[in-house]
Amino acid sequence: MDYSIETAPLEKLQCDCMIVGVYQDQQLSASAARLNNSTQGLIGKVLNRGDISGKNGETVLLNTIPDSVIGRILLVGLGENKALTGKAYIKALASAVNSLKKPQIKFVVCCLSEIAVEGCGQQWKSRQIVEIFSDAAYQYTHTKSDKGTESQLEKIGITAPETELVSAQIGLDQGKAIAGGISFTKLLADLPANICTPTYLAKQALGLGEKFAKLSISILEESDMETLGMGALLSVSRGSRQPAKLIAMDYQGGEKNSKPIVLIGKGLTFDAGGISLKPGLGMDEMKYDMCGGAAVLGTLQAAAQMNLPLNIIGLIPSSENLPDGDANRPGDILTSMSGKTIEVLNTDAEGRLLLCDTLTYSERYNPDVVIDLATLTGACLVALGRIPSGLLGNDDELCDDLLAASETANDSLWRLPLWEEYQELLKSNFADMANIGGKDAGTITAACFLSRFAENLRWAHLDIAGTAWRTGLTKGATGRPVALLCQYLINRAASQA
């Protein structure tokens, strides 16, 4: 799909469909008023008939526009006539985009970047327009015979006044980079576990390394992990015939001596639970247990494409968790890279075993901050559902920065406490700690476990178990939290400039 900024007068923009907003009580946005004038009051007539009230998210498609180079007009309701919240803006935009699924509509002009949004300017708006069109256009076809159904939309024009051309173009470029990262993440996540193995993920990282000069990739093999003493990570992969990989991506966009931001993504390409086998129903969805890793790949791709002036390290510990004669047994005791010992009371709590050794490994980069993302606990779905990702961490400033980025990116987070009192739940009679904390507060005890390996780090953990994919009829990856992480990185780059 092709995106462009359009500064010509609306009436001159030849297109298959033009999207304009209308507010409640029959009030027209500037573009709607302009089109209304150039079409002998067509839009006013539709409003008078009551075909659209202007409620946020409503749409009406006007199918023929007499004597015009504009093929169709899509009216979209915006709600009350005042600055919209970012959320309301995105809701209106998404419903407009989703109602354009006709094969004849190839070139769309979107006039919604003129709409006032609280605290957001032209750049944010054109970025959102790109991200939302791209999100709607994503279709998984990789393992389908019929690949012909990929989006019919070919060209999206975003209108902007001449005076705002520069910010509109910056937003468009950021949007393209972020949307590309999100699509890449979704595709990797949607691929089945018999294709998307740890080796496959490693190859994808190497592919990115070839595309971007500032990005270098190294892959740690099991023998390297052995040498490093990564007993926790290796214990998970012992039960799998696929060799584990620890993918290290090094993006050097900043000053040589500026401390890197480290992103760690759980890359479990399939989680059957191991000897503590999961129930069969819905187990296919455990191909999504690598969504954290996929989001790190997508975020690094976007960061490299945006040429951000930052140093960023992506680390993806990748393995499968399967039952096997050589798999972890409940009661087994492991020695992690940090030297701390772990009693495996449930082999299905494997993500933290991968992450703990990767957290220890991350210390060698002398990071500014470390953020891990993981589909870590079913308990996160119980606590928060599928709306926000869970946020926990040992550094308030980092958590606040992430919360602020999540607001701007409309990729929500909710912070949970990581109080000392919860640590007790991880007591083991036979090792330094157990790998589970019992029935209560599962998301918090998982983060407590990780926190023991992050004592020397400014660290935050995102539990994306509820947000990385949709279940049910629209089952599929969401690409979250790539938008949030990109926003955090953009903010970091801006604050040092």
Residue ranges binding ligand BES (CB under 6 A)? 271, 289, 346, 348-351, 375-379, 436, 442, 465
Tell me if 172 sits within 8 A of 158, measured CB to CB.
yes
Residue 298, binding choice from Zn ion, ligand BES, Mn ion, none, Cβ under 5 to 8 Å by partner class: none
Shortest CA distance to 326 belongs to which of 245, 234, 246? 234
The answer to the question of residue 320 lying near Zn ion (CB under 5 A) is no
By beta-carbon proximity to Mn ion, the closer residue of 266 and 492 is 266
Least distance from Zn ion to the Cβ atom of residue 299, Å = 20
Output the six-digit token pair for 44: 């006013």
**Binding pattern for the stretch 285-304 against Zn ion, x by CB under 5 A and - elsewhere:** ----x---------------
User: Nearest to residue 343, comparing CAs of 252, 449, 224?
Assistant: 449
Counting contacts by CB under 5 A, is residue 271 touching Zn ion? yes
Q: How many CA atoms lie within 13 A of 387 on its CB side?
A: 6
Residue nearest to ligand BES (CB): 378
Give the nearest residue (CB) to Zn ion.
Answer: 271
| Alpha carbons 467 and 75: distance in angstroms, whole number | 31
Under rule CB under 5 A, how many of the chain's residues touch Zn ion? 4
Q: What positions carry a catalytic annotation?
A: 278, 352
10 or 290: CB nearest Zn ion: 290
Residues 424 and 427: their CA atoms lie apart, in Å, by: 6
- Could you tell me the smallest distance in angstroms from the CB atom of residue 5 to ligand BES? 40
Query: What whole-number distance in Å separates Cα of residue 74 and Cα of residue 310?
Result: 41
Residue 343 sits in the site that holds Zn ion (CB under 5 A):
no
Q: How near is the Cβ of 370 to ligand BES at its closest, in Å?
A: 20
Can you point out the beta strands (E) in 96-244? 107-110, 155-159, 215-220
Residue matched to tokens 């995102």: 462
Nearer to ligand BES, 282 or 339 (CB): 282
Report phi then psi at 267, rounded to 5. -120, 55
Q: Could you give the dihedral angle defined by the CA atoms of residues 460, 403, 183 and 89, in that order, rounded to the nearest 10 degrees?
A: 170
Contact predicate 457/371, CB 8 Å: no
Question: Least distance to Mn ion from the beta carbon of 155, Å?
Answer: 44
Span of 170-178, 346-354, 427-435, 466-474 interacting with Zn ion by CB under 5 A: 346-354
Give the binding site for Mn ion (CB under 5 A). 271, 348, 350
Min dist CB 230 to Zn ion, Å, is 17
Footprint of Zn ion on this chain (CB under 5 A)?
268, 271, 289, 351
